[in-house]
Amino acid sequence: MAVETTAEGASAENIGAINPYALAEYKLGRTVNWKRIAEPRKLLEETLGMPYEKLFDPREKSPLFAGKITKQNGKEVRSKPPVDVGGLVWADPGEFFDEAAEFFDPVQGAVGDCYLIAALASVAWARPYALAQRTRATGTAQQKFVDMIEFHSGGKSIPIEVTEKLPLNAPGNTYIYCRSSEPGETWPAVYEKAYAKWRTNDSGDTPNILAIAGGDPLAACVQLTGLTPYYYSCPAMSADDIWTKVRENSLSRKTMHPMVAWTYCKPPAGVHYADANLVGCHAYSILGWNYDNGHKYVVLRNPWGNHEATLNVESGNWVAFDGSFWRTIALASNDGTFALEAATFKKYFAGFGVAK
């Protein structure tokens, strides 16, 4: 593993904040249109039982950071997850691809695997063909679709076969974990299932997805692509150096290699995530950069598909060249994408990395 900086803050081994919107939907037993309800913050507070400002701070006993590996009496144990999946059913709710893998497709669910979902979005953005479906064949008489998905470890490619049956919340058969922003599309959820099967050494087709809470977003990029990781510590770099490093790995404002970033699990003094509407111990995709009116920005995506930063962010549109056309992304559409000033990025983020 190549590590270009080893200063404190570069480590990203146990990053994992649960999507509170997905967790609330699970507890409510129904899908919520968060963009249309009058008071989304109030609904989150009432459903999750905690003031909104404390939900996103890893120093608080927030349900968003439950289910990960913790230390008790010197031993590593997994804390109790905030969901009880005794009533789930496994069913095939749609088609693998709606069109193709897009960065905005993967939306995290009620498990702390933001590291994986951010990595999926970053790979879909920078190298979409790396997520092309490897094998698809009909199975037995039940005509189940079987997908073979490759992961990478130790220089080897590891094929994992799974059906497209996914864990759903009965009786409404709504998603519990990862889902796509495209209705009826399943590829992000199938990838999450295959990853859980691989990570837990499950020989069956119903792996425990709760067991993959907490991980390294850059390592996940490598596991998805087989590329080489390069880690960078924000405390060890200036804001200009961070912005320049993102530019070095971009073409026409868009990252050409998968890039991810992560916030502090133990925030330093003066870092309060509620002040910026950011999330602690959380992974984000880096999509590229922008320069506007003398301000340098890092463009990011929250794998929750919403909940964007509000401090020192750019408004309007961001335009980047996406392979064959200039793609315009509205930064105020609350789809999880936002452009954050490089100096603010340096303050709130512990580190970032690139796989190439």
Q: Are residues 165 and 249 in the same domain?
A: no
Residue 74, burial from CB neighbour count under 10 angstroms (0-12, 13-18, 19+): exposed
In this prediction, residue 136 carries a pLDDT of 52
- Listing DSSP states for 283-345 in one string gives EEEEEEEEEETTEEEEEEE-TTS-----SSB--SEEEEE-SSSEEEEETTS-SSEEEEEHHHH
- Pair (24, 166) in one structural domain: yes
Q: How far apart are the first and last CA of the chain?
A: 12
Residues 247-260 pLDDT 10s: 999 999 999 999 99
Q: Are residues 35 and 183 in the same domain?
A: yes
User: pLDDT value at position 84?
Assistant: 86
pLDDT digits (tens, 9 = 90+) for 42-55: 999 999 999 999 99
Residues of the chain with pLDDT > 90: what percent?
80
| Domain end (from 180, 214, 248) | 214
Look over the chain and give the mean of its residue pLDDT values, rounded to a whole number. Answer: 91
In this structure, is residue 307 part of a structural domain?
A: yes
Confidence tier at 80 by pLDDT (50, 70, 90): very high
Quickly state the pLDDT bin for 58 (edges 50, 70, 90): very high
Q: What is the pLDDT of residue 140?
A: 47
Query: Which residues span the domain enclosing 342?
Result: 219-355
Q: Are residues 124 and 238 in the same domain?
A: no
The predicted pLDDT at position 211 comes to: 97
On the question of a cis peptide bond just before residue 217, with omega within 30 degrees of 0, the verdict is no
**For residue 230, what are the β-bridge partners?**
354
